[in-house]
A and B are shown apart, each in its own frame.
Chain A
């Protein structure tokens, strides 16, 4: 009896426990296995009755027409599969950030040709100082592209053949120098710790690949740059956990909030592998103080996680505050540097996003080794590297450029903020970046995301300006918008303010 009915043993407190649970489990597994095997062969082709002949005869000898016949019978069910990740990526955009960008592309504002078009305030691009770059390029282009050789001779072998996929050493050297210059000369960068990629976008992705496995997560203080969702989540399988910052604290990340998010993630069973910050912050435009950076480092050490500091706006600081790079903090103290990785690029500070030049600066040799290898998927075109080598070597030009650029951003920022203030719209105090972080919560009618998106739509459809709503940046408070002003000139600012005024009036009148 006891053997035949094993569970009896359990009940009676005697043996049989193992058999009693193992046998049914095994049965169940075999059942699953059986089901799975039956399911796993893809829907057998309709020509299956013919298939025995297929395998016995050489395939090539088969009359081709027969298998092609099956095409029509297969019709819709025979559609070839794409991967699950591709089908989720291929879906149309849902984020207002990308919808807005697409809309502008379809109907861009031009004061002469298309005065009724949409004005772009959604793309963080700086056109204020392009004239300087243009002037330099028109003077030096030929030499820049072809004078790669040390001897000064015309050198095709510097651009046409294969180059190191993680960037030319010459470019790394001048890039390191440029970064030092941008950060006020307070810290020096070692060129051999640099990996160059085609833009900061792949730099962030490569770091995510290196620092976290599928299902792991990074903590990201909100509001954050909408592109991160794609940069990190598209292919790496890494999650982003928003850590909410509030207007009352000027949207500066607090350690308490980080702590809370970390613990919650842990409770959910999620492994947090790092913190991702932007400094100067995008979209708010403020700087992280020395003290906060120290606290972040302490936090990272306590939790044994990484810090990715995206400092791509380091040279676009126009306020009075001083920018402090994570690299400077590391230099000054004996922190363990292995966990800090800096992302940089020339898209913002040199206004050259079209060049696609980004950089990973890491102190961790393993991250460096694997990033260098992964750079094969994101290499920079050699002619561009040569141009940049010449451009960045011209330190006089770079110096002038940086200074002029800051002045022009500042002037436009003041003009823009003043215009908004006249409408009664406030922005957070910002000292860097190409945008201001504007509080329009007064204008939204239900105080939630829905109200915010309604206002965003009104701005896009009626006022014809494309701004980025806070919800696209995962901001927890509704009614905030990022407005990039560096693609505008003085007269455009007037047009923008006028268009917003219309909306302000329509918003107020029903209420």
Chain B
């Protein structure tokens, strides 16, 4: 580079045919005087600057700490002269010295990926802290009556008895088949799920959505749970640094599902209690424009319908305007409908699939996530669904399913279970009834304590307003109350801040892991905490 710099005067002077040597030698003069030289005047220094940067960059990548790493001074060991980056330790010693590195116990610690490091070290939010506390000291009516009651995990145990009954009768036949075929479960199966299961699940989905829409099995990719389904979609729809818009409050796991490995960002669209936490198009528009101003590329919107954690449903009108918005901005729309069959109110659930069925929208931007964890109460089975109208996404997702395949015995089991329409019908009916009864009992109990919940029509939880009980109206006050509920009241709930809720004082309480006898216990415990809070203020 330096040579270039020195040679520029002479080389350009020959080409310039200059009247004054001055102009050629000092190119910028041209700019000033309004004559030629503009290009040279900007290109040459820029080139120099770039080479300089390049030089610095190469230099830096070689020597972790210092500028001049090349000559490895003292230790010359037989097989190589270059030292591994950022382990400036001499190799010969590295064998004997087992503790040279910042307290580490074993030699120069092999480097880890920075992404892994952040995942490993990331402090768990209250959502995960609470779950952990419960797993260490779980409540049990008889054996551990002082344990922590789990209201933080969206899991439905209300109808497990039905599943158990069915399994006890059918497990063996369904896994091994009538003709006892081992090759259907032991050998390699398609990574994206057995076609038989796709057909069964497509049927189940349309049953869950009240037959208002039919699903095409060949547009389905099966994954080991909805968690990888969302991650795979994120991989397919956005590149690192791109972003999805998500109406908040949203369920806490979404941060991990979308952000951890894909490098995709989530931008919350704040929803307010004044709107019943329904998405407003003005907020959507504003968030989109703000993101764009920050230079972020928004690649889609992720909604959960029925919403998690609020439990309300998107109405037809909102879905239409979301689709309009997505079309106008040319972005994707992911609708997580995993709770579609777990509605308990009077309102009708409307699937996004139904909307695009009914009108002439561009379907390639619509992707639906489903699974059997909620509606069949089988989260342990790890069965998730991507339903997409986009061929490229379908092709890529099928290939990526190699990392998240469902075990074949479970697939066989589910094929028989879903084929048993009588059972499924019975299950769905009973489950909804039980869900509704529990919801009513729980909400009534809270009301008696003077605590209101947002009206909800779906899901395993209610969205509870405790803002009257928090000492300072902010996140700190909310987390103090959460801590009190966990440590004193011994109930684990999910604070709104874990769900990125913009208003403090809201909590998600999942009631479907309880039995009806547990409800008075929960209410007593919440009463105790609320009395403490009131007495202080």
Q: Which residues of A contact B (CB under 8 A)?
A: 4-8, 10-11, 20-21, 23-25, 27-28, 40-43, 45, 47, 54-55, 58-60, 62, 64, 67-68, 70-71, 78-87, 89-90, 123, 125, 127, 130-131, 133-134, 137-138, 141-142, 145-146, 154, 156-163, 198-199, 201-202, 205, 209-214, 216, 230-231, 234-235, 255, 259, 263, 266, 269, 271, 273-274, 300-306, 336-339, 351-357, 364, 366-367, 369-370, 373-374, 376-384, 387
Contact = CB atoms under 8 A, between A and B. Distances in A.
A274 B110 CA distance: 9
B219 interface: no
Contacts of B381: 159-160, 381-383
A337 B393 CA distance: 41
B330 A80 contact: yes
26 contacts: A4-B29, A5-B28, A7-B28, A7-B45, A28-B42, A54-B328, A59-B282, A80-B362, A82-B392, A83-B238, A83-B299, A86-B392, A145-B175, A156-B167, A163-B380, A202-B404, A213-B114, A271-B85, A302-B79, A304-B87, A305-B110, A355-B408, A356-B408, A366-B112, A379-B382, A384-B407
Interface residues of B, number: 131
Contacts of B46: 24-25, 28
Interface string B377-400: 111111100000010110110011
A376 B45 contact: no
Contact of B405 (A159, A198, A300): A198
Which among A230, A263, A354, A355 has the highest number of chain B CB atoms within 10 Å? A354
A146 B170 CA distance: 11
A382 B382 contact: yes
Contacts of A353: 186-188
B225 interface: yes
Given A81-B299, A198-B224, A377-B231, A355 B407 contact: yes
B113 A211 contact: yes
Interface of A is mostly: helix
B180 A382 contact: no
A380 B84 CA distance: 38
B362 A366 contact: no
Contacts of A158: 380
Given A4-B32, A90-B395, A154-B164, A355 B409 contact: yes
Contacts of B85: 271
Contacts of B318: 60
A416 B49 CA distance: 65
A162 B131 CA distance: 12
Contacts, number: 381
B261 interface: yes
B84 A303 contact: yes
A53 B365 CA distance: 25
Interface string B110-125: 1111111101110000
Interface of B is mostly: helix
Contact of A64 (B32, B98, B320, B395): B320
Contacts of A201: 402-403
CB-based closest 5 A-B pairs = A382-B380, A354-B408, A156-B164, A336-B106, A134-B182
A157 B167 CA distance: 12
Contacts of A303: 84
B242 interface: yes
A379 B225 contact: yes
Interface in B241-259: 242, 256-257
Nearest to B398: A90
A352 B171 contact: no
Which among A80, A83, A85 has the highest number of chain B CB atoms within 10 Å? A80
